[in-house]
Amino acid sequence: MSDLKTDKQIRKGHPYHVELEPLGRRGRFLPGVSVMEMARQLGIDLISLCGGAGKCGHCKVQIVKGQVSAPTSAEQEKLEYKELDHGYRLACQTYAKGDLVVHIPLESLSTPQRVQVEGIEEDVIPEPLVREYEIRMSAPSLSDLQADDDHLAEELKQQHNVTCLNMDTLVLRKLSTELRSQNWRVQATMRDSELIAIGPWPTRHLGLAVDLGTTKVAVYLLDLETGKTVASKGIMNPQIAYGEDVITRINLVRRGSDEANRMQNLIVEAINSIAAELSAQVDAGPEQIVDAVIVGNTAMHHLMLCLPVDQLAYAPHVPSVRQALDIKARELGLSISPGAYIHFLPNISGFVGADHVAMVLSTGISKAKGVVLAVDIGTNTEICLADHGKMASVSCASGPAFEGAHIKFGMRAAAGAIERLRLIDQEIEYHTIEGRKPIGICGSGILDTMAQLYIAGVLDKDGRMTENHPNVRSYEKGREFILVNEKECEGSAAITITQQDVRQLQLAKGAIRAGIQILLNEENNSEDDIDQIIVAGAFGSYLDISSAIAIGMFPQLPLDRFNQVGNAAGIGARSALISQTKRTEALDIAPQIGYIELAGVPNFGEIFLKALSLG
């Protein structure tokens, strides 16, 4: 904000400081600017079908702190009393009356960057393991015959009091040439006591954080000095071509090392390509990336590292490697700075991997006072229950149904996907991503549909679809419910949800609910004991908590006990990248997280069957 603008604003009145979470955008606004407009000015587009008239009800936000204008009649109509009570408002109807902190539920966002990279940027103090130093040296002469390595080590000590105990081989291979071509003024990059890069001073140093999901891969480029994310991108995991779930991929690589290498190459090439793309966005090269952190579930971790997976595929499902690893990027084929390391955070056990450690790290549940449940929803869903710091975890094979897989009209969260749906009497209201013509339905839309159909009585508790609704019809495999008819689809087939889709969703949500129940049973907790439920992951950020409660995926608890935090694993990976303290914390946390192998729970079948029920 320019000084001029600030002066002008101050003349017009006292500006309020407004903070929009979880995206971390901040600004100062004069009275008379709606929250929707504030968001727009800060680069955040909220869903608005009615153009800010308070009629569509999609621009829902939560006022976390501060005074705002009283609810309008439009808001009283669109929002439930309970929601108003918990600070939920429509952004287009709400005006600040002082400094504000506003939470924007991700489902209210409508931007093309609705990918899996978002999340709260934690306020971590940057203290990177990799640091750079400017070194000025004199050229050797007949009276100073010191070898170049000794010379540099001595100057590091003298000029910066840094002890160099080791120099990377590839750095050594260019050391002498670089010292001379830079005329004896260089940037020495140290990782602890190892020289990992040498080059011109000053060179900006970047770090790469990767959240390696079964379905999605989120890559973040950070400035190591400021600790800020300077670019990010999410892509589909290219290994999907070899199987949507981890078991299929594991069975493939068990055929031989060629398959294992091919699987690894796929992901390495993808990361290389994104690293180059993101670097270019900030006018840098991937060789400026001098540190990296990768997190993923145990299977993704093992596939990335070409570790054996046989013992993971079969009970008792033990990982080959749990401990944290530091591996030269080049050993894995990663095209970043030749001397850089990749840090793999530690795994937990079974399929519960480093991504869950990163999530626990970023959400701080290990230090939370009460009973906190953290659910990271993905193709594999990992759940952790922290009971006053005592943590236990499970892994649930929730499958890719939430990604739209095995759903008749399912699709990934891309333009044209129905992502929100309401059934009001016989009327169906929906919203598609980017407001395009509907072409399918993505995870959050499927969840909404299930909930609405159950509430409307179209589905019973067991998930059976009634025939007593005008939108229900028969097709070759049973019943289905028409969401968008042929006419609306402009000639394409009607978009429906089938009885079989419902079964798929029941299996997915049942796996999650059973996992929650088993964790609660472990320490004899009841649902009511849960003080907070943290919902993480891409799908977890977009889903409508009310819908998830309605179908019994989550326990029936007040909405304000839920907290959707975005890609918490990605946030944790970023913290570990920029902070040695956080990296150490992750090492400490991981072995504290207990693990329950579902195959060893005697009444698992019973619990799972019960968890399949809706409501």
Which one among 308, 333, 406, 610 touches a second copy, defined by CB under 8 A? 308
Q: Say if residues 471 and 459 touch (Cβ distance below 8 Å).
A: no
Rounded Cα distance between 2 and 8, Å, is 10
Region of 19-27, 61-69, 287-295, 308-316 interacting with a second copy (CB under 8 A): 308-316
DSSP, residue by residue, 147-207 = -HHHHHHHHHHHHH-----EE-HHHHHHHHHHHHHTTTEEEEEEETTEEEEEEESS---EE
Rounded Cα distance between 210 and 34, Å, is 36
CB of 185 to a second copy, least distance (A): 17
Residue located via tokens 């991981």:
590
Residue placing its CB nearer to a second copy in the complex, 135 or 533 = 135
CB of 151 to a second copy, least distance (A): 8
Rounded Cα distance between 188 and 369, Å, is 44
C-beta neighbour count of 120 within 10 angstroms: 17
Residue placing its CB nearer to a second copy in the complex, 323 or 474 = 323
Asked if 262 is part of the footprint of a second copy (rule: CB under 8 A), the reply reads no
Residue placing its CB nearer to a second copy in the complex, 144 or 283 = 144
Asked if 225 is part of the footprint of a second copy (rule: CB under 8 A), the reply reads no
Asked if 319 is part of the footprint of a second copy (rule: CB under 8 A), the reply reads yes
Residue placing its CB nearer to a second copy in the complex, 181 or 526 = 181
255: nearest Cα among 321, 302, 314, 310:
310
Which tokens hold the place of 38?
């504030």
Sequence-distant (≥ 6) Cβ neighbours of residue 304 within 8 angstroms = 212, 264, 267, 268, 294, 296, 332
Which tokens hold the place of 510?
């049942």
Asked if 333 is part of the footprint of a second copy (rule: CB under 8 A), the reply reads no
Q: Say if residues 385 and 614 touch (Cβ distance below 8 Å).
A: no
Residue placing its CB nearer to a second copy in the complex, 253 or 360 = 253
Which tokens hold the place of 459?
């589905």
Amino acid letter, residue 264: Q
Stated as kind and residue range, the H or E segment containing 372 is strand 371-376
Region of 123-131, 345-353, 442-450, 529-537 interacting with a second copy (CB under 8 A): 345-353
Region of 31-39, 169-177, 414-422, 556-564 interacting with a second copy (CB under 8 A): 169-177
Asked if 176 is part of the footprint of a second copy (rule: CB under 8 A), the reply reads yes
Region of 126-134, 316-324, 433-441, 445-453 interacting with a second copy (CB under 8 A): 316-324
Phi first, then psi, for residue 374 (nearest 5°) are -120, 125
Rounded Cα distance between 421 and 327, Å, is 46
CB of 152 to a second copy, least distance (A): 10
CB of 572 to a second copy, least distance (A): 20
Phi first, then psi, for residue 484 (nearest 5°) are -135, 120
Which one among 140, 238, 285, 333 touches a second copy, defined by CB under 8 A? 140
Which one among 127, 148, 192, 531 touches a second copy, defined by CB under 8 A? 148
CA 10 to chain centre: 39
x-or-dash string of contact with a second copy, 437-466, rule CB under 8 A: ------------------------------
Amino acid letter, residue 352: V
Rounded Cα distance between 594 and 511, Å, is 19
x-or-dash string of contact with a second copy, 350-379, rule CB under 8 A: x-----------------------------
538: nearest Cα among 512, 505, 568:
568
Rounded Cα distance between 16 and 313, Å, is 56
Which tokens hold the place of 212?
């390696």
Which one among 341, 402, 595, 608 touches a second copy, defined by CB under 8 A? 595
Which one among 153, 360, 368, 497 touches a second copy, defined by CB under 8 A? 153
Asked if 173 is part of the footprint of a second copy (rule: CB under 8 A), the reply reads yes
Asked if 255 is part of the footprint of a second copy (rule: CB under 8 A), the reply reads no
Q: 122: helix, coil or strand?
A: coil
CB of 274 to a second copy, least distance (A): 23
| Total of chain residues touching a second copy, rule CB under 8 A | 46
Cis before residue 438, ω within 30 degrees of 0?
no
Taking the CA atoms of residue 311, residue 317, residue 323 and residue 327 in that order, the dihedral angle to the nearest 10 degrees is 50
CB of 476 to a second copy, least distance (A): 43
Sequence-distant (≥ 6) Cβ neighbours of residue 443 within 8 angstroms = 401, 402, 403, 404, 413, 539, 542, 543
CB of 390 to a second copy, least distance (A): 18
Asked if 69 is part of the footprint of a second copy (rule: CB under 8 A), the reply reads no
Asked if 146 is part of the footprint of a second copy (rule: CB under 8 A), the reply reads yes
Asked if 320 is part of the footprint of a second copy (rule: CB under 8 A), the reply reads yes
Q: Enumerate the β-bridge partners of residue 34.
A: 95
Quick one: angle between helices 568-578 and 580-589, nearest 10? 120
Region of 128-136, 154-162, 168-176, 576-584 interacting with a second copy (CB under 8 A): 168-176
Taken as a whole, the chain contains a residue count of: 615
Asked if 172 is part of the footprint of a second copy (rule: CB under 8 A), the reply reads yes
Asked if 219 is part of the footprint of a second copy (rule: CB under 8 A), the reply reads no
Asked if 327 is part of the footprint of a second copy (rule: CB under 8 A), the reply reads yes
CB of 154 to a second copy, least distance (A): 11
Residue placing its CB nearer to a second copy in the complex, 310 or 606 = 310
Region of 41-49, 324-332, 478-486, 535-543 interacting with a second copy (CB under 8 A): 324-332
Residue placing its CB nearer to a second copy in the complex, 317 or 582 = 317
36: nearest Cα among 59, 55, 16, 56:
59
Region of 12-20, 176-184, 392-400, 486-494 interacting with a second copy (CB under 8 A): 176-184
Region of 79-87, 310-318, 409-417, 509-517 interacting with a second copy (CB under 8 A): 310-318
Using CA of residue 550, residue 554, residue 557, residue 558, what is the dihedral sign? negative
Asked if 311 is part of the footprint of a second copy (rule: CB under 8 A), the reply reads yes
CB of 282 to a second copy, least distance (A): 30
Asked if 154 is part of the footprint of a second copy (rule: CB under 8 A), the reply reads no
Which one among 307, 345, 459, 516 touches a second copy, defined by CB under 8 A? 307
CB of 179 to a second copy, least distance (A): 9
C-beta neighbour count of 538 within 10 angstroms: 31
Binding residues for a second copy restricted to 527-556, rule: CB under 8 A: none
Site residues (CB under 8 A) for a second copy?
140-150, 153, 167, 169, 172-177, 180, 305-308, 310-311, 315-323, 325, 327, 331, 347, 349-350, 595, 597, 599-600
